[in-house]
Amino acid sequence: IAGITQAPTSQILAAGRRMTLRCTQDMRHNAMYWYRQDLGLGLRLIHYSNTAGTTGKGEVPDGYSVSRANTDDFPLTLASAVPSQTSVYFCASSGSGTPTDTQYFGPGTRLTVL
Amino acid sequence: GQNIDQPTEMTATEGAIVQINCTYQTSGFNGLFWYQQHAGEAPTFLSYNVLDGLEEKGRFSSFLSRSKGYSYLLLKELQMKDSASYLCAAMDSNYQLIWGAGTKLIIKP
């Protein structure tokens, strides 16, 4: 693995189903982030984690949960998907602990909720 | 509230120069980032400015005026591969990025 990987690449999901989007980084970055990107809108932060064992809420956290059991993994769970959660989801990480560090993005997961 | 404004779309000619503007209003300020995003791909980092002035990096330069809440990205010697969206993001006092919707740059031969 080099960088950040996300899985699945894309998914079609029935409303009401539970779904976990996976994110793994091998850069030993402390901070990790989940964003959603919708047409005509900027990236919006869902949840973040400054270090393993801690998480925080971003701009649009409702309907999503995260965990950070270790440095490398930061899964995002939709407990009961709704059509408004149709979006492209990007995971990102940043490195040495300086808050202004560059964020590096994974390839994204395209999620459609019907 | 917090807000980032940038043009939705711009068109330029191969070999020319284009300037993409961005204005921001944030609660506190810890720097301005520019990212490039090709269609269907992840954003990739281009530049970071926290002090006023121009930062040059090859064909790309980024400028910041903190007093005006203004930045621009300057792309010189445009190539077809520069066709992409360019995302402006300002970091607020909580060190969270506030993102613009992006400027889609179309390069014509």
Token output for A1: 């693995």
CB contact residues (below 8 A), chain B span 49-68, against chain A: 50
Q: Is B50 in contact with A100 (Cβ distance < 8 A)?
A: yes
Task: Report the mean per-residue pLDDT for chain A.
Answer: 94
Interval B8-20: pLDDT, tens: 999 999 999 999 9
How many angstroms separate the CA atoms of B49 and B44, rounded?
16
Quick check: B42 and B85 in contact, CB under 8 A?
no
Round the average pLDDT of chain B to a whole number and report it. Answer: 96
Q: Do B99 and A44 touch (CB under 8 A)?
A: yes
Give the confidence band of A97 by pLDDT, cuts at 50, 70, 90. low
Which residues in chain A belong to E strands, given as ranges?
4-7, 10-13, 19-25, 31-37, 44-49, 56-57, 64-66, 76-78, 87-94, 104-105, 109-113
**Element (DSSP H or E) covering residue B54:** strand B53-57
Spatial distance between the Cα atoms of B7 and A31, rounded to a whole number of angstroms: 30
Query: Letter for the amino acid at A27?
Result: M
Which of B42, B97, B99 is closest, CB to CB, to A108? B42
The answer on pLDDT for B28 being more than 90 is yes
For residue range A33-56, what is the model confidence (pLDDT) as tens digits? 999 999 989 899 999 999 999 999
Cross-chain Cβ contact A42/B45 below 8 Å:
no
The Cα B44–Cα B38 span in angstroms is 9
In this model, does residue A96 exceed pLDDT 90?
no
What is the per-residue pLDDT for A46? 97
